[in-house]
Amino acid sequence: MLTLWATIAICAQDSLRIKLDSLLCHPMFETSQVGVMVYDLTADSVLYQRNARQLLRPASTMKLVTAITALDQLGPAHQFRTRLYHTGTISNGRLNGDIYCVGGFDPMVDIDDIKAFAHELHSMGVDTLRGRIVTDCSIKEDLDYGEGWCWDDDNPRLKPLMVGRKDIFVSALIDEMINDSIVIESIQQSEGRCPNNATAVASRTHSMDQVLLRMMKQSDNYYAEAMFYQIAASSGHRPAKASDARNIVKRLISKLGLGSQPYKIADGSGLSLYNYVSAELETKLLRYAFQHANIYNHLYPSLPIAGMDGTLEKRMTRGAASGNVRAKTGTLTGISSLAGYCVAANGHQLCFSIINQGVMRNQSGKDFQDRLCQVLCSPWETTSDAQ
């Protein structure tokens, strides 16, 4: 025999299902598709699902797949690293050798990092360079763009040695060396691999949390692809390929018990039209993250907060969802998605994924997602449909 509290909980869940079903009666679903899953993390059970296994394009909620895989594979202490080496000898202030700039695909490299490299070289006693400046980009395959990216989009170039997203690393380094009173006898630039016996000059790093914050809050595609290739490089292959990262993502999917599903993982940012996942996969990844503190404690703070910051700053600015929902947004032509966490009125922690596809007006998808979140965050047995 059910207890009173169990009966109340069942009634509340029934009320929630009725409310969410009513949202799905909207005319927009006569011409578009949606996949939805809501999971009660506190009770460890599915609260609601509709077309949860349908394969859909995730747009930028793909960044959740990348972030959770990276935290699982690399760990939260992982550093994005750019290094400077030299060969040859330093005699009477002259470096008779080459300088090697080794790219680690750190998306946060800026002019301050370049200044630090030049200053460190000067601190070693170098006032004259007689040799080449060599760029080592062997961390990744020589592809500027991701598989399945639209040619007419404003896509980031996937170069592992950039300064503020610009391919100016060597020219910026030369300028800063000159500013630091280092004479360059003849400017020779080339590409190649840094030899194992080269001498370390300096290393500049940025943390996993720093990269995650912009990648998720601002939905930065370049940062996400840098993260994707960090995953790829962890395979030990050099140059690392996108396929290396895909294989690691698929291993995590298999760990979730979804390895038999025909998902397509193309890139790390969600720009690719070849990505196909499901609301179930995203929800189970969010559940996996919640169950592992080393992932959740770094993922959760990086997510946009409804009505407060990031890509959710102007959404859900009122009502129970405001300041409550923390979720990754996704937008491409015909696609609108939202996946993340919230707290229900009964105090239970929930995670959810909503993927709208075939919506020619993205605002329609966003409005639907916002209404669904308001329902999740309000008392289920008494709330009226969210406005």
Give the pLDDT means over successive 10-residue stretches in the chain (387 positions).
Answer: 52 83 92 97 96 97 98 98 95 93 97 96 92 95 91 88 94 94 88 95 97 98 97 96 97 95 96 97 98 98 98 97 98 96 96 96 95 95 46
Q: SS3 for 232?
A: helix
Residue-level length of the chain: 387
Closest alpha carbon to 9 in 380, 324, 349: 380
pLDDT of residue 185: 86
Query: In which region does residue 370 sit, left (phi positive, over 0), alpha (psi from -120 to 50) or beta (all else)?
Result: alpha
Q: Which amino acid is at 304?
A: P
**Residue 269 DSSP label:** S
User: Which token pair is 213?
Assistant: 């914050």
Whole-number pLDDT of residue 387: 38
- Cβ burial of 101 (10 Å; 0-12, 13-18, 19+) is buried
Sign of the four-CA dihedral 194, 196, 197, 199: positive
Which pLDDT does position 2 carry in this prediction?
52
Task: Write phi, then psi, for 109 (nearest 5 degrees).
Answer: -60, 130
Q: Residues 99, 198: contact at Cβ < 8 Å? A: no
C-alpha separations of 87 from 77, 83, 101 in Å: 30, 14, 12
Q: Which residues, at least 6 apart from 131, have a Cβ–Cβ distance to it below 8 Å?
A: 87, 88, 95, 96, 97, 98, 99, 188
As a 3-state breakdown, the chain gives helix, strand, coil percent values, each rounded to 5, of 35, 25, 40
Measured distance CA(144)–CA(158) in Å, rounded: 5
pTM of the model: 0.93
Instruction: Give whole-number Cα distances, 154 to 150, 163, 221, 229, 331, in Å.
Output: 9, 18, 10, 20, 14
pLDDT of residue 9: 58
Read off the tokens for 5. Answer: 């509290």
